[in-house]
Structure 1
Amino acid sequence: MIVSAAIAGLCAWSYITGADATNEHLFVPIIPGIFAAATFISAAVSYAIAPYHKLAMSCWLNYALCCVTTAVLVVATGGVHSPFMSLLVMLAPIAGVLGRQMVALFGVLAVAFAAQQIIMESTPVAQSLPIIAILAIGFCAGLPFWLRQSAAAHDAAKDRSYQELATKLDKAASTSEVVINAIGDGVLALDNNGAVRLINPAAQQMIGWGEQDAAGLNYKTVLKLQTSTGTDISDSTDPVMIALSSNKPVKDDTLSIQTQSDKSFLAYISVSPISTDDTHDGVIVVFRDITAERHDERQRAEFISTASHEMRTPVASIEGYLGLALNPQTASVDDRARNYIAKAHESAQHLGRLFSDLLDISRADDHRLKNDPHIVDVISFVGDIVEGLKPRADEKGLTFIYRPTHNEENEDGAKQVSPIFYANVDNDHLREIVQNLIENAIKYTPAGSVAVDVTGDEKRITISVSDTGIGIPREDQAHLFQKFYRVDNSDTREINGTGLGLYLCRRLTETIGGRLWVESEYKKGSTFFVSIPRADSVTAQRLIKESAFKASIAATKAQQQNQPLAQNTAQVAPAVQSSSDPEPQPIDTPPATPDAQTLYANTPLSSIEANPEQYIKQLRQQVSLSVPPRDPPK
């Protein structure tokens, strides 16, 4: 601003006093004077109206205008011989103070001035070199200021970044502390050595340890983990120790926690490692009391089990009598009544299956579900199930495919040989799993196809059931295997279901050591997968022989126990009564026993079917059966 004001003032003074010998060296032409006046006005206005945080831009603008004005003045007053050349040299160091933008601007201006003098003014290069050197020296004099200012600006930027980061961290720490103190679950922060670094108020209240007392102690002193029966756990089953050693999250809902007052409560424990890049900074332990939750679950399970057991007998009776009513040999009804009875019989069968599923789920939840593994050829086993369910698919007009036997010939016409997949699993459990998945595929496929496949590798066998049905929305897939969960949309409301089938399949799959999952796309279809362990051929053949040998021994023992006692007693020929022997006297005879055909004439058929062993035992006790002995098997 001062330079432009001085140039404008000299221009005015030159025209007022005239160009004489005394002021010819300070004469400023009109054009540089106009440039200087405009620069002064612009600098004054920008400085006056620019806000504080925009002053740097105002300085850059004023410096650029001042450099241009000075360059125009130098060119107009003689170029390299101008008496105002010193002003241009004085502006060079200032560029370094203002930053790299002004350094670049002044460099361009200096190069343009030198080119103008050499090309347009035909100034010899030898005469231009000293001036260019002087400009370069002035320019270099400003470089230290520029470098120092750049370093200072860089340090200031780093300081601002650090300050902002510290502010954010403090804010995040405050927010995290508020959240941790507000949640109802207990939270412990442990370092790599298992020492307690943080304990929130909920944890203090649940286990009875204060923050000052627990700080620095080993977690085993503060958080006493035990089994559900109250015995201490080992390091191999300690979820905290496992997470510390493996640096992986661990969850457990089978343990209990002993408080400082020697009380215990069942707990759900989640341990998550604190990891940053490759470093391990400890773990976060979150736990909550699930005693009341487990008590409610136990009561619900007991009620379901009791109700299902009590309801199964009358439902079986209803189903049996309805079956008799539908039998033309035992009842005569018209077609209209037969239709009503058939619907009632179908509903009774549905109730029977429901109660059976509820009982199985109750046993699974209480860990009372039996697991009796036997070797099975999975392809043949699943094929039998598919064959039994084929009529249901045919009723809906679905294409039903069993892939292991669907394409028995390859493209060359040669017959393909399917691999043999052996599995050592409970046959009843596997049958119920596969049958339930296929029935669901048929039920939820209005039109299209259902395909069942069996594949595998050396260790696992995978059974897949695919359909082209209604599919499952993505948000429902995570909850699909929960108890009583059903997808609720317009496609499923018209289809009957209880939400128990897939949950039971999951529990049965876990019982036989398998895994169950689903892949589905809404409106396009679903594929359910069951993965079970595979038994190698040698092991399978050995187990088959062992099972056959045990069955043979059991059959032999059962046959020996069922043989009449008379077979093992020496038979003596009856003595011939002589005429001199006295006549036999009457003896007391036991009361007559009812005939086997009329003993249970008034007993409902369903009751006998529900518990046949009880009635057979009573029948043997009350009715004497004369059965000739059989020869032992040869």
Structure 2
Amino acid sequence: MTVGTSGPAPEETGAPGTAAGPGLSASARPDGLPEDLPDGRPVDPDELPDGLVVADETGRVTGFNAAAARITGLAPAAALGRPLDRALPLEDLAGRRWWALTDPYGGLATRTGQPERHLLLPGGREVLVAARYLRARPTGPVRRVVVTLRGTEARRRSERSHAELIATVAHELRSPLTSVKGFTATLLAKWERFTDDQKRLMLETVDADADRVTRLITELLDISRIDSGRLEVRRQPVDLAAAVGRHVQAHIARGQTADRFFVRVVPPLPELWADPDKIDQVLGNLLENAVRHGEGTVTIEVAPAGADEPAECVRPIGRGVPGGPTESAGPVEKSPIEVEKGTVVTVSDEGPGIPEESMPRVFTRFWRGSKRGGTGLGLYIVKGIVEAHGGTVTVGRAPGGGAQFRFTLPVGTPAYLA
């Protein structure tokens, strides 16, 4: 692992520069560090986020930055001038002394370093260590050894996240697949014994469980694309007010009462270009969250970005009847909004809301509220989709005391129409 930015391999750059003390020389840097910052200041190793330890051709430490001191617990003054293997007494996970094992100065002349790996400091603290061997010429003697140190906390958090994802997937798949297998096996073995109504009920259950598995697989694919930055957005004109209406009607069709929802639109809405399928996914997750975890009336407001209209400018669409009769004389003329054009959607409920201390974690993987249920991935996907559109999403407390989710989408007009 090289320390710093790009550039040709140190072995190919000619004679190395002089190793400095805690602040390495900013001129003639064969170790890959930039010579100067954009403002002209020389690079200070203490500004690096990772620990940096440098030894000269004799194996004595000539550089030991602040991050290395923090990770090892050794003061730079105590490390400088000491042999590398004594200043940094590393062992592998089997208890073998690392520098005796790798022998950077006396080993093969073709080696250029050691890849990052887990090693142990005195006392058993685990660190991630990588080394680079710098030579004046290929296969020549080692003139400098550059070592980087990192704590393992971030790596362990990532590993725990992956393990939790696997456990969640296994748990969420087991239940519907067990149901599907049980009902299909029963139908195949005893088809003649069931009435048509019983068969229909079993097949409807299998169909619902298959949909549940499909949704989980879709969520996993979305997470993979979000994490890798490969989430594609296929922009088309989108009517957000109509999309909200469709989702409300779908919840009513599944048994919710019409009075549970209140939709209002603040006109005029700018023309919005977005991915309709992904926006449907965002709306579906937010409304499902409000219905499942919230209480009372679920209010959905669609408004221009930056709009702060008085009450008479609001055009209610009615309780649970999108497109129904209005309750006011219609939209009111207003001056143009002097902000970036876009649309804001707010979803609020009247439940207990989200505790203040939990709000920073709402859009992370596997976050769940007080009520169990679901994979805990929906809001993480909401954030990823909204940000892929160039928008933002926030969570807060609704006027009625419940949770309030608000996302903003820019107009997103394609370049050829701009």
Task: Name the structure with the higher helix share.
Answer: 1
Relative to the length of structure 2, the TM-score reads 0.49
Which is bigger in relative contact order (C-alpha 8 A, separation at least 6)? 2
Task: Name the structure with the higher strand share.
Answer: 2
Relative to the length of structure 1, the TM-score reads 0.34
